[in-house]
Chain A
Amino acid sequence: MTLPVAELSTENPIGPVGEGERKKIAGRSPTRIAIDRLRKDPIAVVCFAFVLLFVIIAVFAGTICDLLGVSTETVRASTRIDLVTLMPLKGPPNHGFDPEHPFGVAPGSGTDNLAVWIEGCRTSMYLASVSAILSTIIGVTLGLLAGFLGGIFDTVISFMTDLFLCFPFLLAALAVAPIINERFATDTAKLKFVSFYALVAILVFFGWMGVARLVRGEVLSLREREFVKAARVIGVPTHRILIREMLPNLIAPIVVSFSLGLPAYVSAEAGLSFLGIGVFGRESWGRSIAAATKYWEEYPLFLLEPVIGIAVLVVALNLLGDAIRDAFDPKTRR
């Protein structure tokens, strides 16, 4: 029996598919899909704008300070504060807005709060980014090796991961800071440099384990997949398999852990600086908070500025990180 011609033609359109149509059904990478989803997520967009703002402040700190006419330089305290009450002569908390010092000046020393805030933002962002990048690199490398090579590599790396996870981070920070300061005590310039990178080192040292575990788990399941097996069969070298076959498939978990790591480092730096073992010789929000807690009642703004800075940045980074995770997760549908 034959089918009528008319019916056949409707089922099978003749001729090549149009250009526009092909684009519509073209395969998109998971990253592309995630970015598209992010762009449609209002929270992600707002948070990204905030983060971008902080990044701009951090990168152009010096220029912004110059534009606003403020600086962290020490001035003679009595030119800006009342020696009887230790409170500013102009501006908050006892007087109106002072255009020369939009955030007011610090009680006691008279240093400009805005300049300190901007420099503190730079310290936080810089330290958090460097720490997050380094700990991600270390974590990914170790996770890849442990997961893919297995055997003794896996045993040793997993053991190290567990070991570092159970070592108390705060204790290590408390112990290391004075040792470094003592070692470089006589060279102030070097001390400033070393103490900053020592803090980065401590944060990285105790920050790579999460990424390493995550990556190792992913690799364990990936390495049994066909495309990896195929690559091995045709004799692709191990490093090439790791970089060209595995890594692209791990982008999602890495981006997620990086974006959630940033705010954690921001708050860790502030916490350590508050305890007096953080950065040294530079402004930092943690140090500002430590200085301001006593003045809460008399001069609330002094404490609120760094607190709000940290709160906004950390919340923005966290929400952005959450949004990225949701965007990368194929199981979430909104």
Chain B
Amino acid sequence: MKRNKALFAGVSAMTLVLGLAACGGSDDEGGNDSFNEGGTAAGGKNASAVGPAPALEGAKPGGEMTVLAPDPDDGPTSLDPAGLWSVTDNGIAQDLLFRSLTTFRQNGKGGYELVPDLATDLGTPSEDFKTWTFTLKDGIKWENGKPVTAEEVAFGIKRSFDGDTFATGPGTSYSKPFFEGGEDYNGPYAKGAPADFPGVEVDGNKIVLHMAKPFPEMDFYSIFPAIGPVPLDAPAADYGLKPLSTGPYKIEKYTPNQELVLVKNENWDAKTDPARRQLLDKYTFKFGVDPTVAGKTVLSDSGKNTVVTALESPTYSQARKDGKEAQTPIGPQPCTSFVMPNYTKVKELEVRQALAYAYDYENVWAAGGEIPGVTRANGVSNPDLGFNLLPPGMVGRKVWNGPEGQPAITFDPAESKKLLKEAGYEPGQYEVSFVYDATTPQGEAAAEQRKNGYEESGFKVKMYPYTAGSLYDVWTNPDSKLYKKINLLGTAWCQDWPSSATFLPPIVKTGAAYNTGAFSEKAIDDQMDAISAMPQDEQAAAWGELEQKVMNEYQPVINTGFYNTIYGVGSSVAGFNNDISVGGAPDYRTMSIK
């Protein structure tokens, strides 16, 4: 999933691509308290949760709130449920507007648990996880008072197969590959679309989903608005401008990429909804706001009812100085950024390992405007976080701080030179090359720090400035001139839900779009396929083992930091939470005005 946020250059990765994230599972390894102040603590599943959502202590109904999303986060271009797949947009849509078959809610212990939403339970899978049956609750209404039917849910799911109309949606990654006949089905709007799609069946108020291959995580995938109802007469293109709400709020005014005003939906029934609340009278979202203005507003009196989704580090430092710690909470995001050596060019394991010791982590972050240990962190700032491929809070994850038998990773030029020597290279002999974002002074400064680190560690460095767009244009395009010149690439990745299945395969599987280092080992591919077919409760540990194996034996990626975002919370806002279930956005279901 796309992140509507700028991530500063220096860190190799610029745009987090996938990132609908969720809580940890049942036996979280933890050990990341200071980094994960918001807590990715275990939430698990709660199939018996019923509405209304538990009352919040001291939460007063009423009041209006303004939410500012600073530039370059320009919010939703369309609010079509089938097209929503980015942190900011999904946070708003899932928490306030659209209900889907299942959803996440805070479980009172700080974690997020999976609960039924439109469905009566979390769905019943067949033994081989190839058929899922969901039963629709009674009494669910649209904002216009009409009842929501199972046909409408089925229609909504079918729309997610339309990769042309909803290119930004999650359907192409999950609906199409997993559902029976999904690869050939292009949604109900496509020319010559069959009236009956065998993958989605309706039986009374039951929705039966048929899979082409086992999909044990359909209940998690069902949190997306794409797996929810859409009126049968909805148009393909413009529905996203004025979609019908099923959640506690409905749209009063919506200007794409600028403003969204939400007011109470009278036809939402709290008794059917275990997760959402209707505390505030009105939400006003403003997108693409000037970051400095947003920071100033939220910390002043006039912004006491305001929430900012991402503050810049100078604003944060200033606020801390002024004693406003409570107003600038840090929200962890289940995301990792990587440097990815091109596996076909950087063949020696020792060289890839040396690169991990040659990256001057904290200095690169600082020069890029990130505060080490606050907005970026990994094993350098806190050994408990490790240098894993998986972000903290993932089920089955074990902290990995470096290859077996070698010192823990940190910026260590001597160790890097030693490893290079083992691979047969004298200092200054091995050339590494990378592209960096030259559009901002910070991007350049960070690249300079990175270059210095590599050079001190015995590498020869060539770096190429890039100003024409996102670095992903280069990293994911093997035909690009620059791609052919460089041997260090990168990616930043967020999980889609708390399963390594949404993290390891996209990064290390042969041919995966964001496996920019082109890592390819048949043994690892086979093992990932095998784990996907395992019973769900055994998967977590198996993924964890696989991650250790991959990192120890191949080191295909170098962890260059886990992400945190800094929120700005107005002085009158109560009940602020970091909703990691959508990848790190304010939890709009728990906030109220004091």
Interface residues of A (CB under 8 A from B): 74-78, 81, 83-87, 106-111, 177-178, 181-182, 185-186, 188, 191, 276-277, 280-281, 287-288, 290-291, 293-295, 297-298
Contacts and interface: CB of A to CB of B under 8 A. Distances in A.
19 contacts: A77-B449, A78-B363, A84-B373, A86-B317, A87-B317, A106-B445, A109-B442, A109-B445, A185-B481, A186-B464, A276-B439, A277-B467, A281-B465, A290-B440, A291-B440, A291-B441, A294-B314, A294-B369, A298-B317
A119 to B, nearest CB: 13
Given A86-B369, A276-B467, A280-B465, A108 B445 contact: yes
A150 B5 CA distance: 58
Nearest to A182: B468
Contacts of B292: 293-294
A178 B467 CA distance: 7
Nearest to A87: B317
B448 A74 contact: yes
Given A109-B445, A186-B481, A290-B441, A83 B362 contact: yes
B316 to A, nearest CB: 10
B482 interface: yes
Contacts of B442: 108-109, 291
Interface string B474-510: 0000000110010000000000000000000000000
A111 B367 CA distance: 10
A72 B452 CA distance: 14
B438 interface: yes
Main secondary structure of the interface of B (DSSP, over half): helix
A111 B449 CA distance: 11
A281 B441 CA distance: 10
Contacts of A290: 440-441
Given A108-B445, A110-B367, 6 more contacts: A108-B367, A178-B467, A182-B468, A185-B464, A186-B481, A298-B321
Central interface residue in B318, B440, B441, by most chain A CB within 10 Å: B441
A146 B578 CA distance: 68
B464 A188 contact: yes
Contacts of B315: 294
B205 interface: no
A84 B360 contact: no
Interface in B419-453: 438-442, 445-446, 448-449, 451-452
A186 B483 CA distance: 10
Contacts of A288: 441
Contact of A111 (B314, B317, B371, B445): B445
Contacts of A84: 371-373
Interface string B295-332: 00000000000000000111101100100000000000
A145 B274 CA distance: 82
B466 interface: yes
Main secondary structure of the interface of A (DSSP, over half): loop
B468 A181 contact: yes
Contacts of A291: 440-442, 445
A186 B445 CA distance: 20
A81 B372 CA distance: 12
B314 A298 contact: yes
Given A78-B362, A109-B448, A85 B317 contact: yes
B366 interface: yes
B391 interface: no
Interface of B: 291-292, 312-315, 317-318, 321, 360, 362-363, 366-369, 371-373, 438-442, 445-446, 448-449, 451-452, 462-469, 481-482, 485
Contacts of A293: 292
Nearest to A188: B464
Contacts of B448: 74, 109
Top-4 shortest CB links A-B: A291-B441, A109-B445, A109-B367, A74-B448
Given A77-B449, A86-B371, A191 B465 contact: yes
A76 B363 contact: yes
A75 B449 CA distance: 8
A181 B465 contact: yes
Given A86-B369, A298-B317, A185 B466 contact: yes
A86 B360 contact: no
A107 B367 CA distance: 8
Contacts of A110: 367
B322 to A, nearest CB: 10
A277 B360 CA distance: 29
Nearest to B369: A108
B289 to A, nearest CB: 15
Contacts of A186: 464, 481-482, 485
A86 B313 contact: yes
Central interface residue in A110, A177, A186, by most chain B CB within 10 Å: A186
A86 B366 contact: yes
A108 B370 CA distance: 8
Nearest to A116: B441
B360 A76 contact: yes
Contacts of A83: 362-363, 366, 371-373
B237 to A, nearest CB: 29
Contacts of B313: 86
B473 to A, nearest CB: 10
Given A83-B362, A185-B466, A298-B317, A276 B440 contact: yes
Central interface residue in A76, A77, A106, by most chain B CB within 10 Å: A77
A103 B367 CA distance: 18
A108 B368 contact: yes
A85 B313 CA distance: 9
Contacts of B446: 109
A177 B468 CA distance: 9
A194 to B, nearest CB: 12
Contacts of B368: 108
